[in-house]
Amino acid sequence: MYRFSNTAYAVAVVLFASATTAHAQTDKLPLDPNAFVNQFEATFGKFEGARRSGAKGICAMGEFVGTADARSLSVSSAFSGKPVPVVVRFSVGGANLKAPDNSRTQRNLALQFDLPNGEQWMMGNISAPVFGAATPEQFFALLASRQPDPATKAPDPAKVKAFNDANPEVLLLPKYLASQPVPASFASVNYWGVHGFGFTNAAGVTQFGKWIFEPVAGVQGLSDEEAKAKGANFLFDDLRQRVKEGKVAFNFNLELAQPGDKIDSAITPLPEGRKKVNLGQLKLLSVSEDGGGACLNVTFNPMVMPKGVVASADPLLPARAAPYAVSLGRRLTEGSKQQ
Ligand code: HEM
């Protein structure tokens, strides 16, 4: 079924509005968003109807309750202490709708907080403390370096090596994922925001930090044998089961930056030991029984922030908005799907 929900429309409107914010920060986008999405397709293949990244996914609904500590950091209505409905999407990294669940790849947790008076807060979090590039230009060049050679249908090892040698920081993300076990569940892994954001309180003071969603029930990985036995498609049913049992919740925690900390780079975590504040808890209430649901046509554009939250100067942040909109446009015209 062709679904273009009110939410998707609202997203398009907000995207348009948020372009003003991006403009204010960057003068203009560094790269043509169509060229960016073309490069995703050239590198990873084109999967009709799917998101060009984080393709294989599932919608869920949740509820967030903020803490008094969060209220002292930000005036955002997300932290009022009253339950806030949240559209949730879990996904497996990559553009492939058939990506295997039992590999050491990225998992994603995307959220849309539906706040009072039509305000929204969107974010896409990943199961690693760092992203795979520092700037849009570096990310684009990374993707290009991995584009399969038409003759071999595989990336050219010489090109990959040359790029990696010149940009060793792009290996931080894949190295982290390779060092971790396959997550036992979408509900049993940490998800990092990786960007810095500022939280502004009633006194007008802005505290920057980086956030993590940490499973209340703890992190749990699979041994290689367990992962093999689970097969390529276990994450959706596992999530449905855990949510039915009322067992899925995440603490939304913020690591507070100190003066001098680098907060404008998605490849540089804050130094170890920074104070961590619990902003609240996200509880999962239901999971879609199929590939549809409220998340299907949402872009989770991280430039959609509520009053009381501001973006850092991380150049990747404003650069995400337009390619997400282009990807949405392509998948809508093809017929959106995520499974
Ligand atoms: C310029 C840099 C980036 C580009 C061009 C880019 C591109 C994309 C595109 C095209 C999509 C699919 C959007 C859709 O169809 O709705 C996507 C999804 C996603 N991206 Fe990025 N991305 C960038 C940076 C990042 C960073 C830094 C993160 C780290 C947090 C990230 C995390 C995600 C996640 C979690 C999703 C899936 C969200 C969902 O469930 O819909 N991306 N990205």
- pLDDT > 70 fraction of the chain, expressed in percent and rounded: 92
CA distance 253 to 106: 20
- pLDDT > 90 fraction of the chain, expressed in percent and rounded: 91
pLDDT at 27: 60
Is 60 exceeded by the pLDDT of residue 238? Answer: yes
Is 90 exceeded by the pLDDT of residue 38? Answer: yes
Is 80 exceeded by the pLDDT of residue 10? Answer: no
Atom of ligand 1 nearest to the CA of 89: 40
pLDDT at 2: 34
Least confident of 15-29, 41-55, 174-188: 15-29
Write the residue with the smallest CA distance to atom 31 of ligand 1.
124
For the chain, list the domains and their CATH numbers: 6-334 (2.40.180.10)
Residue found by looking up tokens 């209220």 in the block? 71
Rounded mean pLDDT, 282-301: 98
pLDDT at 130: 98
pLDDT in tens, 114-125: 999 999 999 999
CA distance 224 to 218: 20
pLDDT at 20: 37
Rounded mean pLDDT, 275-303: 98
**44 pocket-lining for ligand 1 (C-beta < 6 Å):** no
First-last CA distance in the chain: 14
Within 10 Å of residue 276's Cβ, how many Cβ atoms? 16
Atom of ligand 1 nearest to the CA of 90: 40
> For residue 67, what pLDDT band results from cuts at 50, 70 and 90?
very high
Is 90 exceeded by the pLDDT of residue 227? Answer: yes
CA distance 286 to 149: 43
Measured at the CA of 180, the angle between CA 96 and CA 189, to 5 degrees, comes to 75
Atom of ligand 1 nearest to the CA of 91: 40
CA distance 218 to 194: 20
In contact, 267 and 139? CB cutoff 8 Å: no
pLDDT at 29: 75
Q: How many A from CA of 123 to the centre of ligand 1? A: 10
Residues 208-241: b if buried by 16+ CB within 10 A, e if exposed: bbbbbbbbeeeeeebeeeebeebeeebbbebbbe
Is 50 exceeded by the pLDDT of residue 19? Answer: no
Rounded mean pLDDT, 205-228: 98
Angle between helices 6-26 and 316-334 (to 10 degrees): 150
In contact, 57 and 90? CB cutoff 8 Å: yes
Q: Residue 337 is encoded by which pair of tokens?
A: 């799907």
Rounded mean pLDDT, 319-335: 98
Per DSSP, 155 falls in state B
Is 70 exceeded by the pLDDT of residue 5? Answer: no
Rounded mean pLDDT, 146-167: 97
Is 60 exceeded by the pLDDT of residue 8? Answer: no
CA quadruple 10, 15, 17, 18: dihedral sign: positive
Rg (CA), the chain: 19
**327 pocket-lining for ligand 1 (C-beta < 6 Å):** yes
Residue found by looking up tokens 């971790």 in the block? 180
Rounded mean pLDDT, 312-332: 97
pLDDT at 28: 73
DSSP 23-77: HHHHSS-SS-HHHHHHHHHHHH---TTS-SSS-SEEEEEEEEEE-HHHHHH---G
Write the residue with the smallest CA distance to atom 23 of ligand 1.
320
pLDDT in tens, 159-215: 999 999 999 999 999 999 999 999 999 999 999 999 999 999 999 999 999 999 999
**211 pocket-lining for ligand 1 (C-beta < 6 Å):** no
When the pLDDT of each residue in the chain is averaged and rounded to a whole number, the result is 93
Atom of ligand 1 nearest to the CA of 33: 5
Is 50 exceeded by the pLDDT of residue 287? Answer: yes
Q: How many A from CA of 324 to the centre of ligand 1? A: 7
Is 50 exceeded by the pLDDT of residue 60? Answer: yes
Is 90 exceeded by the pLDDT of residue 1? Answer: no
